[in-house]
């Protein structure tokens, strides 16, 4: 009796590195937030915007890992189907991220070890970098070299919050914010080094992706510390509890690690 043959799935060449990097980046993010929860720095009693933000961002981690896993194992059909969902999820990520940045800076002034102007303006810039690079990666998915590399850099832009929760941020004042962001660049640097070693050259997707990532960070810091940046921050927090703390990073009275 004849039976329908199962579709052949051939692992896609050159994707193992991207799977490893995806697992490492997701692991850093999950570890950072889990550590915060375990140490009592955060709790499930947080207001609803934090839960919405958390569900959307963790959903993206699952989608991203599924995408990398399906292409690595050769399940191209499912990979393409999930890619359609990413067109909706990426804008939702940007919207949820912007929402929680505003809620945090207005509600509490943001983390005390970050300057408010950095946390607001540079944070939003990094979020936009993720959105631009991820959507660009989706638009060029037929060109796998560009697609997978742009998506890796986009994902690396999200690792800052995870790294920031693993690093001793209070001890890094007043440079906690740039240190956390620059730490996230390590994933792009590793990817560039692997490309160079494997191919003798670096794919232009990395130069564009990391150029946009680093360039946006530098531009956001210039804006944050300009008169306009201070004015934007003050306008956003005016009349809220966030305005009661200093603009710059500080240690709260009685703080202990």
Q: State the pLDDT at residue 233.
A: 98
CA pair distance 192, 107, nearest whole angstrom: 39
> Is residue 228 included in any domain, yes or no?
yes
> Is residue 146 included in any domain, yes or no?
yes
Q: State the pLDDT at residue 11.
A: 59
pLDDT tens per residue, range 223-252: 999 999 999 999 999 999 999 999 999 998
> Is residue 74 included in any domain, yes or no?
yes
Q: How many domains does the chain have?
A: 1
> Is residue 78 included in any domain, yes or no?
yes
For the chain, the average pLDDT equals: 91
pLDDT tens per residue, range 67-78: 999 999 988 889
More confident residue, 187 or 34: 187
More confident residue, 195 or 14: 195
51: domain range? 16-36+45-239
Q: State the pLDDT at residue 38.
A: 77
- SS3 of the chain: the string is CCCCCCCCCCCCCCCHHHHHHHHHHHHHHHHHHHHHHHCCCCCCCCCHHHHHHHHHHHHHHHHHHHHHHHHHCCCHHHHHHHHHHHHHHHHHHHHHHHHHHHHHHHHCCCCCCCCHHHHHHHHHHHHHHHHHHHHHHHHCCCCHHHHHHHHHHHHHCCCHHHHHHHCCHHHHCCCHHHHHHHHHCHHHHHHHHHHHHHHCCCCHHHHHHHHHHHHHHHHHHHHHCCHHHHHHHHHHHCCCHHHHCCCCCCCCCCCCC
Res. 10 pLDDT band, cuts 50 70 90? low
Q: State the pLDDT at residue 50.
A: 84
> Is residue 230 included in any domain, yes or no?
yes
CA pair distance 36, 111, nearest whole angstrom: 13
Of residues 155, 83, 165, 92, the one with CA closest to residue 126:
155
Q: State the pLDDT at residue 209.
A: 98
More confident residue, 8 or 143: 143
> Is residue 253 included in any domain, yes or no?
no
pLDDT tens per residue, range 28-64: 999 988 887 777 666 666 788 888 988 999 999 999 9
Res 3 pLDDT > 50 = no
pTM: 0.90
Q: State the pLDDT at residue 128.
A: 97
Res. 124 pLDDT band, cuts 50 70 90? very high
> Is residue 210 included in any domain, yes or no?
yes
């Amino acid at each position: 009796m004849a039976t329908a043959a199962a579709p052949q799935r051939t692992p896609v060449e050159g994707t193992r590195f991207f799977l490893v990097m995806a697992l490492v980046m997701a692991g850093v993010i999950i570890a950072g937030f889990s550590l915060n929860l375990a140490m009592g720095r955060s709790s499930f009693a947080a207001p609803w915007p934090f839960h919405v933000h958390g569900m959307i961002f963790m959903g993206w981690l699952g989608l991203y890992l599924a995408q990398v896993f399906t292409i690595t194992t050769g399940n191209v059909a499912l990979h393409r189907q999930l890619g359609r969902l990413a067109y909706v999820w990426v804008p939702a990520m940007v919207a949820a991220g912007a929402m929680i940045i505003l809620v945090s800076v207005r509600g509490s002034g943001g983390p005390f070890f970050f300057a408010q102007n950095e946390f607001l303006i540079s944070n939003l810039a990094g979020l936009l970098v993720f959105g631009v690079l991820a959507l660009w990666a989706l638009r060029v998915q037929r060109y796998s070299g560009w697609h997978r590399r742009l998506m890796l850099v986009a994902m690396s832009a999200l690792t800052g919050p995870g790294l920031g929760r693993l690093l001793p941020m209070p001890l890094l004042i007043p440079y906690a914010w740039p240190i956390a962001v620059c730490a996230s660049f390590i994933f792009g640097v590793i990817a560039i080094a692997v490309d160079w070693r494997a191919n003798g050259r670096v794919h232009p997707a990395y130069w564009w992706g990391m150029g946009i990532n680093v360039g946006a960070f530098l531009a956001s810091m210039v804006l944050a510390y300009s008169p306009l940046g201070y004015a934007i921050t003050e306008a956003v927090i005016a009349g809220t509890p966030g305005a009661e703390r200093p603009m710059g990073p500080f240690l709260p009275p009685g703080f202990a690690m």
